[in-house]
Amino acid sequence: MKTYEVCVVGIGAVGAEIVRLLKRRKFPLKRLIILARAERREVIDGEPYTVRPAAPDAFEGMDFAFFAGTEGAKGASKTLGWEAVKRGCVVIDNGDDFRMDPRVPLVVPEINPEALRQHRGFIANPNCSTIIAMMVLAPLHRVAAIRRFVACTYQAVSGTGSAAIRELEQQVRAWAAGRPMTVEAYPRPIAFNVIPKIGSPVEDEPGWTTEEVKMRRETRKILGDPSIRVSATTARVPVFNGHSEALHVEFARPMSARRAREILLAAPGVTVADDLANNVFPVPIDASGQDKVLVGRIREDPGVEHGLALFVAGDNVWKGAAQNAIQIAEKLIAGA
């Protein structure tokens, strides 16, 4: 079996999971190196790693480079991504700098692997909330054509990164001890709260955040349909890991709840958890640490013609980031 020289750029929450999942998925590694701003030692699951400074020359001889930005992360791939490509390395970027670049495929391997055939050495991971929604919506779209959907997301703090995870834990401990909660990662306390703002305001779309606009733009690119209307409201919730989303969908053709379940039961990367009477439905604590996206609460929506409502949950650090990136590399190796 051929093996590959691989580097991971960034070693925060997503970078560490890429390292773990490369080994968990038995990726054919010849060598693995980790790059970041400064040289240091890191320990992941008891194994020490020497982190090297990220610089253009560090990509010499590399086959794949995983840029491990968290939600909305900018900078590393903008500075070094195309430098890596020049050196013959395939870049798979989890940040959002190049997602809408026409040169760069935006790929969810279960949905649009054919986009990889035209890559120029640089491939983008979609946003985590977009990936989780698309895993469920794309199989339905192929059958009945989505005209419009409304998404309300409930996003875990792991999407912001390691510092936000620590902040939620510290705030919970402070609350339990009767101490004031300190705020750094978010504009308000996240413990026991919901913050309806993820990302920054979009200048040319007043009232909307970058996270909300991403879902519309990325959906259209992934599905290859610029006519799909998308309205998203994104909120941060006090959950350590696992994003959840309420989706309300309008189709061009009839789509019954029964037919939707049949389609989703056969969809790759999806688990149907849909038994309301027995309290079986997607929740982030069940989705965390799972390879697949959970879908349930599947029901017809009487508020719109050909309407369907459902609820999804997925591991935003795995399928929403690290796992999806590795699956892209696996598809390339398989000759997708």
For residues 77 and 91, the answer to whether their CB atoms sit within 8 Å is yes
Confidence of residue 335 (pLDDT cuts 50, 70, 90): confident
Which position has the higher pLDDT, 13 or 257?
257
Report pLDDT digits (tens) over 299-309: 999 999 999 99
Tokens of 73: 């992360």
Share of residues in the chain with pLDDT > 70 (%): 98
Identify the band that residue 71 occupies on the pLDDT scale cut at 50, 70 and 90: low
Q: Where does the chain show beta strands of DSSP type E?
A: 4-9, 29-36, 40-44, 47-53, 64-67, 90-93, 122-124, 146-155, 229-236, 243-251, 270-272, 293-300, 307-314
**pLDDT at residue number 69:** 78
Instruction: Tell me the average pLDDT of the chain.
Output: 96
Q: Which residue has the higher pLDDT, 75 or 301?
A: 301
Provide mean pLDDT across the span 255-277: 98
**Confidence band for 248, pLDDT divided at 50, 70 and 90:** very high
- Taking 70 as the threshold, does the pLDDT of residue 321 lie above it? yes
Burial of residue 241 (CB within 10 Å: 0-12, 13-18, 19+) is buried
Does residue 73 register a pLDDT over 80? no
Yes or no: say if 110 and 269 are a contact pair by the CB < 8 Å rule.
yes
- In the annotation, is 248 catalytic? no
* Helix, strand, or coil (residue 318): helix
Determine which of 160-164, 206-210, 212-216, 243-247 has the lowest per-residue pLDDT on average. 160-164
Domain ranges of the chain: 4-125+321-334, 130-316
- At residue 336, does pLDDT exceed 70? no
Predicted confidence at residue 1, as pLDDT, reads 86
Reduced to 3 states (helix: H, G, I; strand: E, B; else coil), residue 241 is: coil
Q: How confident is the model at residue 170 (pLDDT cuts 50, 70, 90)?
A: very high
- pLDDT value of position 115: 97
The domain made up of 130-316 has a fold known as Dihydrodipicolinate Reductase; domain 2 (3.30.360)
72 confidence band (pLDDT: 50, 70, 90) = low
pLDDT of residue 77: 92
Helix segments in the chain, DSSP class H: 13-24, 76-86, 128-144, 162-176, 210-223, 257-265, 284-287, 323-334
Catalytic residue among 119, 141, 243, 306: 243
Query: Which position among 89, 119, 128, 306 bears the catalytic label?
Result: 128
Predicted TM-score (pTM) of this structure: 0.96
Q: DSSP alpha helices (H): ranges in 192-294? A: 210-223, 257-265, 284-287
pLDDT band at 126 (very low <50, low <70, confident <90, very high): very high
- With cut-offs at 50, 70 and 90, classify the pLDDT of residue 75: confident
Span 195-224, pLDDT tens digits: 999 999 999 999 999 999 999 999 999 999
pLDDT surpassing 80 at residue 261: yes
Q: Do the domains spanning 4-125+321-334 and 130-316 agree at the CATH topology level?
A: no
Report the DSSP beta bridge partners of residue 34. 8, 51
- 71 or 93, greater pLDDT: 93
Q: Note the pLDDT tens digit of each residue in 2-59.
A: 999 999 999 988 999 999 999 999 999 999 999 998 899 999 999 999 999 999 999 9
- Beta carbons of 159 and 245 less than 8 angstroms apart: no
On the question of pLDDT at 61 being above 70, the answer is yes
pLDDT at 74: 63
**Is residue 119 annotated as a catalytic residue, yes or no?**
no
For 4-125+321-334, the fitting CATH number among 3.40.50.720, 1.20.210.10, 3.30.360.10, 3.30.9.90 is 3.40.50.720
Q: Is the dihedral of CA 88, 99, 147, 242 positive or negative?
A: positive
Average pLDDT over residues 67-78: 76
